[in-house]
Amino acid sequence: MKKGMNGRAAVFLGAMTLAIAGPLFANPARDAIIAKYASEAGVSTFSAKRGKALFMANHTGGKPTTPSCITCHTSNLRGPGSTRVGKPIDAMAVSVTPSRFTDIAKVEKWFGRNCNSVLGRLCTATEKGDVLTYLSSL
């Protein structure tokens, strides 16, 4: 009797975990940030594929020490990155660092800094949306 109860409890807990973990990837604050970029760009969806291409590519317009996003974040986005002075950077993949991209001020600060360092210009709303969509899918 008791065993049966435990089995049912396990199923219930499993369902609860899925119910919580599902929205974890679709955090409302992050959704709002992506929606804001979508309205700025005048589009309805972003492309994770384009985001990945931008993130992984080598660029020439920025500062010579940082030609790419992966100079610091590394190509393994589920693992930690490292700043140029060796300070670890939390993994960019939302599945590993669930708090990523939930604070608009922070997201804007780092896009502002890093787009300038890597590209030598500000990123467009489309580029920001693409990158966020890509990193949220990881």
Partner 1 sequence: MSQPSEKTATTRIWDIFVRMFHWSLVAGIGVAAWTGFIIGPRALDIHVWIGSLAGALVFLRLIWGFTGGTFARFSSFLTGPRQTIHHLRELADKTAPRHLGHNPLGGWMVLALLGVIAGLAATGAYVLGGTFHAGPLAGWVSTSSGMGLRELHEVLAILLLVFIAFHLAGVIFESYRTRENLARAMVTGSKEMRSGDEPQTRLAARPLAFVLTGVFGLGLAVFSGLSMSHRTPPNAPVSVVGTTYEANCTDCHMAYHPSLLPASSWVQIMATLDDHFGEDAWLPPDTVTEISAWLGAHSGEATDSKPALVFSQLNSARPMEITETPFWKRTHAHLPEDMFTTPPVYARGNCAACHEDTKTGWFYPPNIHLPE
**What are the residues binding partner 1 (CB under 8 A)?**
63-66, 82-87, 109, 112-114, 116-117
Q: Judged by CB, which is closer to partner 1: 117, or 137? A: 117
Sign of the Cα torsion 48, 96, 36, 22 reads: positive
Q: Least distance from C-beta 100 to partner 1, angstroms?
A: 14
Q: Judged by CB, which is closer to partner 1: 95, or 114? A: 114
Q: Judged by CB, which is closer to partner 1: 47, or 66? A: 66
Q: Judged by CB, which is closer to partner 1: 102, or 114? A: 114
Q: Are 94 and 30 in contact (CB under 8 A)?
A: yes
Distance (Å, whole) CA 113 – CA 93: 19
Q: Least distance from C-beta 60 to partner 1, angstroms?
A: 15
List the one residue out of 27, 23, 30 whose CA is nearest residue 104: 30
Q: Least distance from C-beta 94 to partner 1, angstroms?
A: 19
Distance (Å, whole) CA 19 – CA 71: 36
